Amino acid sequence: MGIVKALKGDTGGQVMLAVLLVVTLVVPVLNLAVPETSFWHVSTYTVTLLGKYLTYALLAVAVDLVWGYLGILSLGHGAFFALGGYAMGMYLMRQIGDRGVYGDPILPDFMVFLNWKELPWFWNGFDMFWFAALMAILVPGVLAYVFGYLAFRSRVTGVYLSIITQALTYALMLAFFRNEMGFGGNNGLTDFKELLGFDLQSDGTRAGLFMASAAALALGYLACRMIVTSRLGRVAVAIRDAESRTRFIGYRVERVKVAIFAFSAMLAGVAGALYVPQVGIINPGEFSPLNSIELVIWVAVGGRATLYGAVVGALMVNYGKSTFTAMFPEAWLFALGALFVLVTLLLPRGIAGWLPARRAG
């Protein structure tokens, strides 16, 4: 019932979810059941690539929720994504056990290398999947809550807020580069072996992760739709368009903001947690401000305040990036830079703006 209502009138979303469902069912079959020699075979590389794109799409949906509907241009969502990824990475590190280069049953290789004698306290519990999964959601959520509470309470808005979110991810990047932080420093966490007992290199696990990413995207999308179609979603748009007016009719603007911001950060954390086992590494580069701002342009390309546009934009830009960097590695930054300029100048409503006009929010 809730789902039906959430998707009412959301043609773009219905189409997107239908395509997603078909792809999720067909791709693993083409990968696992169709012989490699066949024209219809989909390589495991492609499956993993698609899975990666889907986690990006979920991240983009999270950004669109706060940017499109709440007017908060977060340039720090990459940080929440990376934190979720690190939580998952820590679990995967602990799963390596004594199969690391140094063969220490408890300590990950980089700690042995740094001559550490015991596990730092914050690594406790990450040998359990449920705990790591919880942390992948909670850590970004709590960070976003605290950060949002401080920022929104003092009514920091607009470009100020954007730059401060950028400073947040920048500070985290610097911190995670430090070996003393206990997250593998420069190299990050890598050399993962298995997840919940499944070999991460096997085709079946890859297909499973792909399907999990698709499911997470679908669920995240539906959750966001439910929010934006609720009265809270209308309050969010009201805040975006006339913040002080919303206060005068009795809404606690900063609480609405912090709640949605924290929820969005949790979604980003989930995306990060799904991303890491598929790419096999998480390092501080994921916190780089460039990543966070690049994902904003995915949303802008797709069309903000549509949610499905974020999915389309994330898939298109990343597909473009993959093919572009393969063909003209030199020119990618030109293309990306031009994309930023052209989309903001000529396509303020993104690709979704080409579709038959439909009211946002």
Partner 1 sequence: MILAGMTWWGTAAAGALEEALPGLADRAFPAKQQAVQALAATGDSRALPILEALLAGDLYTREAADPPLVLARPSAAGLRLSDPLTGVDLGEVERATVKKIPLNNALRTALRGGIAALTLSSPDPAVRSRAAKDLMRDPSPESVTALRARLEQEQDAAVRTTLVLAVAVADLRVGTPEARLAAVATLEGSLYPEARNGLTTLIANETDADVKAAAERALTAIDARLTWNARAETLFFGLSLGSVLVLAAIGLAITFGVMGVINMAHGELMMLGAYTTYLVQQALPGWVDYSLFVAIPAAFIVSGLFGIAIERTVIRFLYGRPLETLLATFGISLILQQLVRTTISAQNVAVENPSWMSGSLQINPALALTYNRLYILAFALLVFVALLLILKRTALGLQVRAVSQNRAMARAMGVRSARVDALTFGLGAGIAGVAGVALSQLTNVGPNMGQAYIIDSFMVVVFGGVGNLWGTLIGGMTLGVANKFMEPWAGAVLAKILVLVFIILFIQKRPRGLFPQRGRAADG
Partner 2 sequence: MGGQVERWQYLNPGKTLAETLDISHTTLLYVEGVTVSFDGFRALNDLSFYVDVGELRCVIGPNGAGKTTMMDVITGKTRPDAGYVFFGQSINLLELDEPRIAQAGIGRKFQKPTVFEQHQVYENLELAMAGDKRVWPTLTARLSGAQRDRIDEVLGIIGLRDHAWRPAGALSHGQKQWLEIGMLLMQDPLLLLVDEPVAGMTHQEMDRTAELLLSLEGKHSVVVVEHDMDFVRSIAKRVTVLHQGSVLAEGSMDEVQHDPRVVEVYLGE
| Residues within the interface to partner 1 (CB under 8 A) | 73, 147, 150-151, 153-156, 158-160, 162-164, 166-168, 170-171, 174-175, 177-178, 244, 289, 293, 296-297, 300, 330-331, 333-334, 336-341, 343-345, 348
Query: 52 or 304: whose CB is closer to partner 1?
Result: 304
CA 331 to chain centre: 26
The site partner of 340 among partner 2, partner 1, none (C-beta below 5 to 8 Å per kind) is partner 1
Q: Is 189 helix (H, G, I), strand (E, B) or coil?
A: strand
Identified binder of partner 2 from the candidate list 160, 204, 241, 358, rule CB under 8 A = 241
251: contact with partner 2 by CB under 8 A: yes
To the nearest whole angstrom, how small is the minimum distance from the Cβ of residue 12 to partner 1? Answer: 22
CA–CA dist 93, 90 (Å, integer): 5
Report 253-312 residues binding partner 2 (CB under 8 A). 253, 255-256, 259
**Helix pair 289-302, 308-327: axis angle to 10 deg:** 120
Query: 46 or 230: whose CB is closer to partner 2?
Result: 230
- SS3 percent helix, strand, coil of the chain, rounded to 5, is 75, 0, 25
Q: Is 211 helix (H, G, I), strand (E, B) or coil?
A: helix
250: contact with partner 2 by CB under 8 A: yes
Query: 6 or 300: whose CB is closer to partner 1?
Result: 300
The single-letter DSSP state of residue 194 is E
Report 192-231 residues binding partner 2 (CB under 8 A). 227, 230-231
Helical (H) or strand (E) element with 327: helix 308-327
CA 157 to chain centre: 23
CB distance 289 to 166 below 8 Å: yes
Question: 39 — phi, psi (to 5°)?
Answer: -60, -30
244: contact with partner 2 by CB under 8 A: yes
Query: 158 or 204: whose CB is closer to partner 2?
Result: 158
Query: 2 or 348: whose CB is closer to partner 1?
Result: 348
Query: 61 or 239: whose CB is closer to partner 2?
Result: 239
With contacts defined by CB under 8 A, name the span among 21-29, 88-96, 143-151, 236-244 that binds partner 2.
236-244
CB distance 97 to 197 below 8 Å: no
Q: 69: which 2 tokens?
A: 């509907």
With contacts defined by CB under 8 A, name the span among 37-45, 168-176, 196-204, 249-257 that binds partner 2.
249-257
Angular region, 100: left φ>0, alpha ψ -120 to 50, beta rest: beta
The site partner of 255 among partner 2, partner 1, none (C-beta below 5 to 8 Å per kind) is partner 2
245: contact with partner 2 by CB under 8 A: yes
247: contact with partner 2 by CB under 8 A: yes
β-pairing, 194-195 vs 189-190, is unpaired
CA 33 to chain centre: 30
CB distance 205 to 199 below 8 Å: yes
The site partner of 234 among partner 2, partner 1, none (C-beta below 5 to 8 Å per kind) is partner 2
The site partner of 334 among partner 1, partner 2, none (C-beta below 5 to 8 Å per kind) is partner 1
To the nearest whole angstrom, how small is the minimum distance from the Cβ of residue 236 to partner 2? Answer: 10
Residue with tokens 């995207």: 217
The site partner of 237 among partner 1, partner 2, none (C-beta below 5 to 8 Å per kind) is partner 2
Residue with tokens 């219905």: 14
For the CA atoms of 277, 279, 283, 285, the dihedral, rounded to the nearest 10 degrees, stands at -140
Residues engaged in binding partner 2 (CB under 8 A): 227, 230-232, 234-235, 237-238, 241-242, 244-253, 255-256, 259, 359-361
